[in-house]
């Protein structure tokens, strides 16, 4: 990684404004149901405290659409962070303004402050220069530790760097870029990528970019049915992107002439309807009944995919193999997670893209047994596409 990090700068007595990703899920009583993103930010926050800096944290939460909506307040995140670091976390009722400045100016070395939701202002997502400038006035140095938002050029991720000369990566950002960067630019071979999820459309650029890089490309999940349709198979009422069938044909043709192994499922678990309790059966992919829908990969596919994973030294996984949210159709996704754990234990580098893949491996209770689980779904996808992430590009080079 050619960007400076928090390790390269002096923090003592400095106001360190940090873009974190505290976009955590809340239940109807404002209780945090998964604190992973807060936990992942702890190394950076603890370093600022230990080095005698003043940590001023900013984040978005949910989609309040540019208006104050206390349903999306970051107050619960401040309370949870306080428990995790065993120290008071002050909370500012706004992310800019005189009152917030006053709170920032009262901070002592080692103090931690969390600002209220950035997206209570639509200026944040618009990357409004005036708003970015107001945020910059709260800090002497800027740290971006929010990989999950690094693919967006927002005021707190990109605009602010125009007004603070010292702009560096946090420890989580560094970890994300190191693991994903290694997988993309210098993988230990054989290199295997597994793509799942509902749609091809969100993964086209990733597929095209990976064609020139991987040794094996495995496709699972709902997106596989568009490929089957392209092959002329019956897919019943399975998920289909009709407008992407021609594109799927092109990808299949490209796969035939390329040196990479391009692998689709060989059997699927089908059901009558999209329900956990729906009776299911396993069928070969070219023998699918017209009145059924595919909801998971089958046992032969699990064996095939797992075998390919075990032959690989770098594995990147983005997207579930089936409807893992339904307990009866989680087997394929969990089997891939288990294969990644086995590969990791034998020395492979295993990287799980954020979003649904991260949720799936967490549901399986295996997130600590792979090399790295990304905190950014969209950002990790764009990184795999070979795109430059604005929030990373804006940081100081080494």
Residue 98 has pLDDT above 80, yes or no: yes
Q: Is residue 1 part of a domain?
A: no
Residue 195 pLDDT grade (very low, low, confident, very high; cuts 50, 70, 90) = very high
CA distance 277 to 327: 9
Same domain, 146 and 30: yes
End position of a domain, from candidates 123, 146, 172: 172
Count of domains observed in the chain: 2
Query: Helices (DSSP H) in 193-244: which residue ranges?
Result: 204-211, 224-230
Query: Per-residue pLDDT tens for 34-70?
Result: 898 999 999 999 999 999 999 999 999 999 999 999 9
End position of a domain, from candidates 119, 138, 172: 172
Query: Which residues contact residue 200 at a Cβ distance below 8 angstroms, ignoring those fewer than 6 apart?
Result: 207, 223, 226, 227, 241, 244, 247, 248
End position of a domain, from candidates 111, 142, 172: 172
Query: Per-residue pLDDT tens for 307-354?
Result: 999 999 999 999 999 999 999 999 999 999 999 999 999 999 999 987
CA distance 314 to 248: 26
pLDDT of residue 62: 94
Q: At 162, which CATH number?
A: 3.40.50.1260
Catalytic site residues? 37, 199, 355, 378
Q: Is residue 184 part of a domain?
A: yes
Same domain, 163 and 189: no
Same domain, 231 and 322: yes
Q: Is residue 395 part of a domain?
A: no
Contact 151, 377 (CB under 8 A): no
Q: Is residue 311 part of a domain?
A: yes
Query: Per-residue pLDDT tens for 202-251?
Result: 888 888 888 888 999 999 999 999 999 999 999 999 999 999 999 999 99
Contact 47, 54 (CB under 8 A): no
Residue 354 Ramachandran class (φ > 0 left, ψ -120 to 50 alpha, else beta) = beta
Residue 108 has pLDDT above 90, yes or no: yes
Query: Per-residue pLDDT tens for 355-394?
Result: 788 889 988 999 999 999 998 878 888 888 888 899 999 9
Same domain, 27 and 62: yes
Same domain, 154 and 274: no
Same domain, 164 and 215: no
Put simply, whether the predicted model's pTM sits higher than 0.75 gets the answer yes
Query: Per-residue pLDDT tens for 146-182?
Result: 998 999 999 999 999 999 999 999 999 999 998 888 8
Cis peptide before 343 (omega within 30 of 0): no
Same domain, 265 and 308: yes
Residue 95 pLDDT grade (very low, low, confident, very high; cuts 50, 70, 90) = very high
Instruction: For residue 108, give the DSSP letter.
Output: P
Domain that holds residue 60: 6-172
Same domain, 312 and 335: yes
| Pairing label, strands 216-219, 191-195 | parallel
Contact 365, 345 (CB under 8 A): no
């Amino acid at each position: 990684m050619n960007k400076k990090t928090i390790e390269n700068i002096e923090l003592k007595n400095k106001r360190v404004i940090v873009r974190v990703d505290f976009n955590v899920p809340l239940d109807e009583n404002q209780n945090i149901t998964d604190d992973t993103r807060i936990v992942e930010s702890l190394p950076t926050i603890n370093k600022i405290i230990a080095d005698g800096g003043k940590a001023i944290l900013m984040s978005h939460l949910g989609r309040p659409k540019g208006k104050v909506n206390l349903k999306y307040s970051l107050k619960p995140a401040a309370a949870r962070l306080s428990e995790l670091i065993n120290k008071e976390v002050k909370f500012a009722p706004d992310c800019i303004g005189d009152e917030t400045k006053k709170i920032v100016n009262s901070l002592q070395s080692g103090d931690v402050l969390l600002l209220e939701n950035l997206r209570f202002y639509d200026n944040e997502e618009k990357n409004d220069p005036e708003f970015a400038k107001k945020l910059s006035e709260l800090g002497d140095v800027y740290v971006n530790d929010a990989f999950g938002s690094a693919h967006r050029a927002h005021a707190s991720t990109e605009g602010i760097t125009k007004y603070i000369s010292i702009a560096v990566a946090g420890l989580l950002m560094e970890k994300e870029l190191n693991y994903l960067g290694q997988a993309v630019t210098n993988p230990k071979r054989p290199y295997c990528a597994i793509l799942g999820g509902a749609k091809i459309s969100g993964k086209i650029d990733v597929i095209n970019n990976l064609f020139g890089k991987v040794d094996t490309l495995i496709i699972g999940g709902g997106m596989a049915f568009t490929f089957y349709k392209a092959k002329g198979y019956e897919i019943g009422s399975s998920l289909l992107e009709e407008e992407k069938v021609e594109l799927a044909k092109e990808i299949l043709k490209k796969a035939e002439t390329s040196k990479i192994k391009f692998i689709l499922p060989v059997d699927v678990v089908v059901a009558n309807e999209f329900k956990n309790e729906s009776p299911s059966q396993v069928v070969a992919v070219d023998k699918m009944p017209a009145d059924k829908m595919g909801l998971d990969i089958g046992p032969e596919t699990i064996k095939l995919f797992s075998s390919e994973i075990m032959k690989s030294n770098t594995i990147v996984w983005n997207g579930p193999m089936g409807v893992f949210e339904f307990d009866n159709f989680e087997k394929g996704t969990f089997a891939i997670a288990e294969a990644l754990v086995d590969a990791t234990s034998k020395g492979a580098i295993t990287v799980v893209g954020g979003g649904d893949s991260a949720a799936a491996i967490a549901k399986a209770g295996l997130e600590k047994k792979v090399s790295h689980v990304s905190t950014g779904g969209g950002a990790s996808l764009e990184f795999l596409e070979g795109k430059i992430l604005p929030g990373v590009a804006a940081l100081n080079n080494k």
